[in-house]
Structure 1
Amino acid sequence: MGGDAGATRRVMSREQVVRGGCRFFLRHHTIDMERLAAGLAISRATLYRVVRSRDVLLADVLWLLGERTLTQARRERRSTGADGVLEVTRLFVDRLRESAPFRAFLLAEPDTATRVLFHASCGVHRRVVSAQKEILLEARAAEEPSAALDQIAFLYVRIVESEVYAELLGGEPVDRALAERATRAVLPG
């Protein structure tokens, strides 16, 4: 009998791979596709077939971990209106800064981080803007038409990204109080 005659093909869903990617990222502060595939007991070819590319997987992993953090910040919010929106942002940003895996990834792979976090093909930025729009709506901080609210959420997120990722983007650190004044200025009302 040949070595592959009794082998069964392991089927993995995208969700299973992303969850495995999250566990790997939290332990190793990166994603190594070969090691992840081995840890999931699938081939690299299967891994790539499921997720398309390392960047796309990283985007899904970072979004899932970020979404969990954002959900927690939203639950802990005590203020309403613009103050509630800013409170969620402060809680979220503080947790991002405290995340050793995330900080290590940004320092070790700044080009990859820039691509994954900001490039349209990976979708992290789009998902963050969508989540910010929901935060604006639930905080009742905006009575704007949907198209205007999309733009407000986009601008708000770009200001926050400028604060959080200033050094990654080749600049000097942005003063937090200044960034908060700028985000407050973007908020309606």
Structure 2
Amino acid sequence: MPPQRVIDPDVLLRGAAMHYLKHSTIDMELLAGELAISRATLYRMAGSRDALLGEVFWAIGRIFLTEASGEATGTGPDRVIAVSRLFAEMVTGAQQLRRFVAEEPQTAARVLLTTGTEVHHRAVDAQLEIFAESRVTGDPADLRQRAFLYVRLMESVVYSPVLGVPELDFALAEPALRALLPG
């Protein structure tokens, strides 16, 4: 049996992200060929297609969050809302995600909205970072609960097609988002 080709996890993630951006999905057999590894090696490294999709979505989402955080101004709840608005615009404008959701709504729901992958947990942690960067403070346990609810509401806005409803306007959600912010 020939030795398995070892691939760096960062190379795998970059390759998967490029594949996703090109195809609006991840075809594990095609991706394995692009990376010059076997499907078995790809699954061993990624764990599952859902896990790999979660990593790709999080990497892209993190880029959007970083960009939104860099563009937002001010402090406090106004900055948190500004970051959220910019992020929502980026996500809802992402054509690959729109196509993926339309073609694979159950997979999108499983990967983006459940605990089957780390996307939601990472989003809550990122929301706590945004709170801190915006100088929104409070009891850590209370802030974590608020971040959880905030993220769930944002998921309803940015992933509304996954939930089977027409696109929700950010302005409709803004009062509820503000109500979750202390002070």
Amino acid at match of 1:180: E
2:50 maps to 55
3-state SS of 1:169 partner: coil
Aligned counterpart, 1:19: 14
Partner of 1:123 in structure 2? 118
Counterpart contact for 2:76–2:135, Cα < 8 Å: yes
Structure 1 equivalent of residue 59 of structure 2: 64
After the TM superposition, which residues 91-110 of structure 1 pair with which residues of structure 2 at under 5 Å, given as runs?
91-110=86-105
Letter in 2 for 1:15: D
List alignment gaps of at least 5 residues for structure 1. Answer: none
Structure 2 unaligned blocks of 5 or more: none
Alignment-mate amino acid for residue 94 of structure 1: E
> TM-score with structure 2 length normalisation?
0.95
Query: What whole-Å deviation, never above 9, does each CA across 1:69-100 have from its counterpart, x for those lacking one?
Result: 11111111112111100000111110111111
RMSD between aligned residues: 1.3
Q: Which amino acid aligns with 2:146?
A: I
> How many residues are treated as equivalent by the alignment?
183
Per the alignment, residue 146 of structure 2 pairs with: 152
Q: CA deviation at 1:8?
A: 5.5
Per the alignment, residue 179 of structure 1 pairs with 173
Query: In 1, are the aligned partners of 2:51 and 2:111 still within 8 Å (CA)?
Result: yes
SS of structure 1 residue aligned to 2:171: helix
User: Which AA in structure 2 matches 1:126?
Assistant: H
Q: How does 1:83-94 map to 2 (within 5 A)?
A: 83-94=78-89
- Three-state SS of the structure 2 residue aligned to 1:116 is helix
Moved more, 36-45 or 166-175: 166-175
> Which of structures 1 and 2 has the bigger CA Rg?
1
Cα offset, 1:162, TM superposition:
1.3
Is 1:45 the counterpart of 2:66? The answer is no
Query: Offset at 1:171?
Result: 2.9
Q: CA deviation at 1:170?
A: 2.1
Instruction: Give the Å deviation of 1:164.
Output: 1.7
**Alpha carbons 2:85, 2:170 under 8 Å: kept:** no
